[in-house]
Structures are given as structure tokens and as C-alpha cells.
Amino acid sequence: MSTTTIPSFKLNTGADIPAIGLGTWQSKPGEVREAVKVALETGYRHLDCAWAYKNEAEVGQGIKDSGVPRSEIFITTKIFVSNYYPDRLEKSLDESLSLLGVDYVDLLLLHWPIALRPNAADDFIPLKPDGTRDTNLDLDINREVYPLLEAVYKKGKARAIGVSNWSVPKLEDLLTVCKVKPAVNQVELHPYLPQPKLVAFCQSNDILVQAYSPLGSSGSPVREDEEVVKIAKKHGVDAGTVLISFAVKRDIVVLPKSVTASRIKANLALVDLDAEDMKTLLGLSDVRGVTRYTKGAWGVKFGFEDGF
Ligand SMILES: NC(=O)c1ccc[n+]([C@@H]2O[C@H](COP(=O)([O-])OP(=O)(O)OC[C@H]3O[C@@H](n4cnc5c(N)ncnc54)[C@H](OP(=O)(O)O)[C@@H]3O)[C@@H](O)[C@H]2O)c1
């Protein structure tokens, strides 16, 4: 038996955040407007967006089409790594706000703990002549970029701020220098990448964890895993419901992406996994191997438990 009442968690700002949000990465033009409308009509009140997804205008149209008041929706966007500069960060947020058709976001994240050097030819993913990403390793993200995020937070354009893809060492360092504690760390999480130490660190420091690629992203075997399917059959639910419920049971916000109406609806269901299910799912990466699906060709290590 599954339920479709969406629980919520609290941010360290005191704000409520729905435990399930619609992911919008790789949601193509011509698809995401309808996906957002369907999601909001179905009961979602949380959208995970990013400037880098290049689809925020359509997300904004979907919000309008749904007729759901802005005040009822929790909206996240992210500052991309080529916009980590004093003359670019707030502009990037303003562009996202304008595309989404809103005058504030509920949560603003730094997308990755690394910067790129924008140039005249490319200000999105600029490359060096050898074809690798033009990373700016001289920029100290926690000391030079995070304060820019704190400044837009103080202006009220973002009601909470946080980070994405920060490992424990990067968070430890950030906590020594930040003035506004990050409310969230958004990272890849599913049974093949459960990251128990990172989750425990965040939760003991009152930083809410958000799970991206909770279904293993596109084309991964996580949804078809024999043990996941067995647990799904035991409860009479879809494998997707097991993966989404696995995150929520760990007090983690979960961000499944879909542009398929039936899956958008199905992904709102939760099932109460028991201790045995959780033990199996938490132990799955020991058997199958720890696997990360969303890496990005950054050419550096970020300090995660799996060596990434
Ligand atoms: N901060 C970051 O760096 C970062 C990185 C990656 C992702 N994210 C966020 O997290 C969100 C989710 O991650 P993700 O997009 O990588 O992957 P995901 O949500 O794990 O998986 C999405 C894939 O699963 C399919 N799917 C969705 N529901 C399904 C269901 N019930 N049964 C079977 N297949 C289903 C989708 O297909 P259809 O769409 O065709 O239905 C799509 O191919 C992103 O959209 C984004 O908002 C953030």
C-alpha cells in the first residue's frame, strides 16, 4: 500500500520544504512546460531547477499554466560554475528569476564546488584549446563565491541558500568561514551511492540533504535491481516508489525527474519501508559496487567517500 500525502521537512531557516520535488534536468523544450503543469496539478509543490538546465522559461510557463499560486510552490534554482564572479552571480539569479517569472526563489544553490572561466566565445561550459573544461582553480569557492550567495540572500532574492555536490571536507571548510550556514546540500543519492558518512555529517550539522538522480538517472540499472524489485513486489508498489521512499525514510528530500505524466503522478507515492527493506537497500552498494552516474568532466577530485 502506498500513500500520496507529501510530507515536508524543515530547513535551518525555519521554512518548510516538501519532501518530494520535480527534477527538471534534461527535461527537453517542448516537454518540460507540460511536465511542470501536470506535476503542480497532481499535487507537487516543489520544483528543482537550474540556470544550467536551459529550460527555466518553460518551467515558468508551466507554473503559470497550472494556476497554482507562486506562494504555494517551493522553487530552487542554482548558480552555475561559470557565473561564480561578482559581476555575474547576481545577474545569473536575476535571469533565472525573470525566466521563471518569479521575484524570489525559495532556495538558491551553488551548483558545483569548482569554477569555470567564461570567455567571449562561451560563457556556459568554456573549454581550453585541448578540449578540457577551463576550470579556475585559483578561485576559493567557500571564501570568494559563497559570500556572493550570502549577499543575494540578504537582499531577499533567495529565501534560503545552500550548496550542491559538496563533500564532507568541503562542508567542514565552509562551516568554518560562512556567515549564513547552508540550508541544503544537494548530492547524488540512491542505493548504489548511499553516502552514509556525508548524510550523517549534514544531518548532525542541521544541513538538509537533497537526493538527486534518486532513480539512478537515465538508463541506469538501479530501478531494475533484483532486490529493489523484490521489495517493490512485497509492498505491491513500483520500483520507483521504493527508491523515492528510501530517500524520504532517511529524512532526505528527493528530486525524481520525469516528463511522462503517468510517472510524474506515480513518483508522488510513498511506501513505509520496514527496517529489513532499509538494511537491504543501504547494503546494496556493498554487493553491487558503489556507482555514481552524474560526474561531469571536471578533471579534479571533490573529496567524496567513493573517491570522486
Ligand atoms: N545538483 C546537481 O548537480 C544535479 C545533478 C543531477 C540531477 N539533479 C536534479 O535531480 C533531478 C533528478 O535526477 P536525474 O534527472 O539525474 O534522474 P532521476 O530522477 O534519477 O531519473 C530520471 C529518469 O528516470 C525516468 N523515470 C522517472 N520516473 C520513472 C518511473 N516511475 N519509472 C521508470 N522510469 C522513470 C525518467 O524518464 P522520463 O522523464 O522519460 O519519464 C528519466 O529518464 C534532476 O532532474 C535535477 O533536477 C541535480
Give dist(CA 43, CA 134) in Å, integer. Answer: 41
Mutation to probe ligand 1, out of 36, 213, 225, 292 (largest number of atoms < 8 A from CB): 213
Q: Is 85 a catalytic residue?
A: no
Whole-number Cα distances in Å, 13 to 1, 160, 162, 224, 282: 34, 7, 11, 38, 29
Tell how far the Cα of 292 is from the centroid of ligand 1, in angstroms: 14
Report if residue 234 sits inside a domain.
yes
Q: Is the sign of the CA dihedral 113, 118, 124, 127 positive or negative?
A: negative
User: Which residues touch 140 (CB under 8 Å, ≥6 apart)?
Assistant: none
Tell how far the Cα of 91 is from the centroid of ligand 1, in angstroms: 28
Report if residue 247 sits inside a domain.
yes
pLDDT at residue 36, as a whole number: 98
Residue 183 pLDDT grade (very low, low, confident, very high; cuts 50, 70, 90): very high
pLDDT at 1 over 60: no
CA-closest residue to ligand 1 atom 8 = 212
pLDDT in tens, 228-287: 999 999 999 999 999 999 999 999 999 999 999 999 999 999 999 999 999 999 999 999
Pairing type for strands 184-188 and 161-164 reads parallel
Report if residue 198 sits inside a domain.
yes
Tell how far the Cα of 120 is from the centroid of ligand 1, in angstroms: 32
Whole-number Cα distances in Å, 70 to 52, 102, 105: 22, 7, 10
Atom of ligand 1 nearest to the CA of 186: 1
Domains held by the chain: number: 1
Burial class (CB in 10 A: 0-12, 13-18, 19+), 208: buried
Atom of ligand 1 nearest to the CA of 190: 20
Residue at grid coordinates 544537494: 186
pLDDT in tens, 109-128: 999 999 999 998 999 999 99
Tell how far the Cα of 156 is from the centroid of ligand 1, in angstroms: 30
pLDDT in tens, 11-57: 999 999 999 999 999 988 899 999 999 999 999 999 999 999 999 99
Give dist(CA 94, CA 140) in Å, integer. Answer: 23
Q: Where in the sequence is the domain holding 44, given as residue range(s)?
A: 8-288
**What average pLDDT does this structure show over 196-208?**
98
pLDDT at residue 217, as a whole number: 95
Edge to edge, the sheet with strand 74-79 lists 22-23, 46-48, 74-79, 107-110, 161-164, 184-188, 208-212, 253-254
pLDDT at 5 over 90: no
Burial class (CB in 10 A: 0-12, 13-18, 19+), 105: buried
Report if residue 3 sits inside a domain.
no
Report if residue 295 sits inside a domain.
no
Tell how far the Cα of 16 is from the centroid of ligand 1, in angstroms: 23
Give dist(CA 285, CA 171) in Å, integer. Answer: 24
Report if residue 214 sits inside a domain.
yes
Residue 220 pLDDT grade (very low, low, confident, very high; cuts 50, 70, 90): confident
Residue type (1 letter), 148: L
pLDDT in tens, 289-308: 999 999 989 999 999 999 99
pLDDT at residue 100, as a whole number: 98
CB 242, CB 10: distance < 8 Å = no
**What average pLDDT does this structure show over 162-174?**
98
Q: Which residues line ligand 1 (CB under 6 A)?
A: 23-26, 48, 111, 164-165, 186, 212-218, 223, 238, 240, 255-260, 263, 266-267, 294
The CATH number that applies at residue 74 is 3.20.20.100
Report if residue 75 sits inside a domain.
yes
CA-closest residue to ligand 1 atom 7 = 212
Report if residue 296 sits inside a domain.
no
Q: What percent of the chain has a predicted confidence (pLDDT) above 70?
A: 99
Q: pLDDT averaged over the chain?
A: 97
